[in-house]
């Protein structure tokens, strides 16, 4: 077994390996070193934030909001008991039922831990490193909070909280554009010839603007896995976008391109449930990439924290992560789309993942 921090670091780095098969290893190593340096600098900047009055006040408000949300979601699902029943469960199952916030800070929670304690944790600020956008970004998706579209899987309400890395203040009115594969590893919006859901499908994709507390929330489901990748979802953060009347946006300056991950115990537990366990694509663990661990020198924490709504995973999860943003950054050149979704259907970007927005078939 390797240390948890190394695992986190390795996972954060994996996308660089698999998203560009055949890419020069030395170039990748050089980029990793650069990213480690940038990350260390940003971590120093962030750590000055942690004890600020702004951060404390934000934390208190976030704790109250998340506790209320959990109560609301539990009520909606008619969940009345929060107690773990301790009978007839093997160790693996019990671990999977343990209500634990991803325990980076060595805090383990049980189903009986008061919400105030869970959400009052100091472990709330993650610096999600810039990563590759990958081959499945589709522009033109709808601004909507519920991106489920009837897909089957473990329900997941996810809160992305954006804070200004330099002031620790929440960032309102930035746009989080998210996408992930379904329980059996299929992306919408991408041509079926590649085994994906088709250009006209839009499931598990959507956009939300952050509110005055800097929070963008989505109702989705826990992602499945696909070839050569550990379970994750994608996130692009934009500012200065142009809103369209049909609840889409164009343009914008890209503040962040990232991927968010889930701790191993949670991934394992979900993968054991139906329909995740019907996925025939081989599961990829970070261990296959053992050599990367040697490059992993520091403290990336791309894992979301979460609580289960009950001891039954099918009842769903509330997950959250705080993403620190450098408002002066501009990653627009990294925003490469595979397709654009129009009122007339999806259109693949020719020579895809080279990133130029496709010409608009609506414009004449």
Ligand X SMILES: *[C@@H]1O[C@H](CO)[C@@H](O)[C@H](O)[C@H]1NC(C)=O
Q: What are phi and psi of 146, to 5 degrees?
A: -100, 110
The neighbour count for residue 199, using CB atoms within 10 Å, is 21
150 near ligand X, judged by CB under 6 A:
yes
Contact mark string toward ligand X, 177..196, x via CB under 6 A: -----xxx-x----------
**Interaction between residue 343 and ligand X (CB under 6 A):** yes
Q: Of 228-236, 283-291, 319-327, 340-348, which part binds ligand X (CB under 6 A)? A: 340-348
**What count of other Cβ atoms lies within 10 Å of the Cβ of residue 106?**
7
Give min distance, CB of 170 to ligand X, in A: 18
- Shortest distance, CB of residue 277 to ligand X, whole angstroms? 10
Residue 206 found at the interface with ligand X (CB under 6 A): no
CA 218 to chain centre: 11
- Is 264 among the residues that bind ligand X (CB under 6 A)? no
Torsion over CA: 235, 237, 241, 247 (sign): positive
Q: What is the C-alpha separation between 138 and 190, in angstroms, rounded?
A: 8
Distance CA 246, CA 36 (A): 41
Asked if 334 and 315 count as a contact pair (C-beta separation under 8 A), the reply is no
Judged by CB under 6 A, the residue of 57, 68, 345, 356 near ligand X is 345
Q: Which of 24, 193, 362, 364 binds ligand X (CB under 6 A)?
A: 362
* Interface with ligand X, residue 18, by CB under 6 A: no
Residue of 246, 328, 350, 364 that binds ligand X (CB under 6 A):
246
**CA–CA distance, 163 with 159 (Å, rounded to integer):** 13
Whole-number Å distance between alpha carbons of 55 and 45: 13
Nearer to ligand X, 217 or 321 (CB): 217
Is 68 a binding residue for ligand X by CB under 6 A? The answer is no
> Minimum CB separation from ligand X for residue 152, in Å?
5
């Amino acid at each position: 077994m390797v240390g948890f921090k190394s695992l986190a670091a390795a996972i954060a780095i994996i996308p660089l390996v698999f998203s560009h098969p055949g890419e020069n290893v030395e170039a990748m190593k050089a980029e990793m070193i650069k990213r480690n340096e940038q990350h260390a600098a940003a971590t120093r900047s962030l750590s000055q934030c942690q004890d600020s009055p702004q951060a404390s006040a934000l934390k208190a408000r976030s704790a109250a909001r998340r506790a209320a949300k959990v109560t609301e979601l539990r009520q909606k699902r008619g969940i009345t008991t929060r107690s773990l029943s301790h009978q007839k469960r093997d160790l693996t199952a019990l671990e999977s039922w343990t209500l634990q916030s991803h325990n980076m800070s060595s805090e383990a929670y049980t189903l009986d831990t008061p919400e105030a304690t869970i959400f009052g944790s100091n472990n709330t600020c993650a610096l999600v490193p810039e990563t590759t956008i990958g081959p499945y970004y589709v522009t033109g998706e709808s601004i909507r909070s519920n991106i489920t579209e009837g897909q089957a899987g473990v329900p997941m309400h996810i809160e992305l909280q954006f804070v200004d890395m330099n002031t620790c203040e929440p960032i309102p009115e930035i746009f989080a554009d998210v996408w992930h594969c379904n329980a059996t590893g299929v992306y919408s919006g991408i041509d079926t010839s590649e085994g994906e859901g088709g250009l006209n499908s839009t499931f598990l994709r959507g956009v939300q603007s952050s509110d005055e507390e800097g929070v963008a929330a989505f109702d989705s489901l826990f992602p499945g896995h696909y070839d050569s990748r550990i379970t994750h979802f994608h996130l692009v953060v934009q500012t200065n976008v142009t809103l369209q009347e049909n609840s889409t946006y164009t343009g914008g300056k890209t503040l962040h391109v990232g991927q968010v991950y889930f701790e191993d115990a949670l991934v394992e537990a979900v993968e054991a449930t139906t329909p995740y366990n019907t996925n025939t694509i081989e599961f990829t663990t970070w261990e296959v990439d053992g050599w990367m661990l040697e490059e992993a020198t520091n403290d990336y924490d791309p894992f979301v924290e979460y609580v289960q709504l009950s001891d039954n995973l099918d009842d769903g999860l509330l997950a959250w992560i705080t993403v620190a943003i450098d408002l002066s950054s501009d990653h627009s050149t990294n925003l490469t789309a595979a397709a654009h979704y129009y009122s007339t259907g999806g259109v693949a970007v020719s020579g895809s993942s080279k990133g130029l927005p496709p010409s608009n078939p609506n414009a004449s």
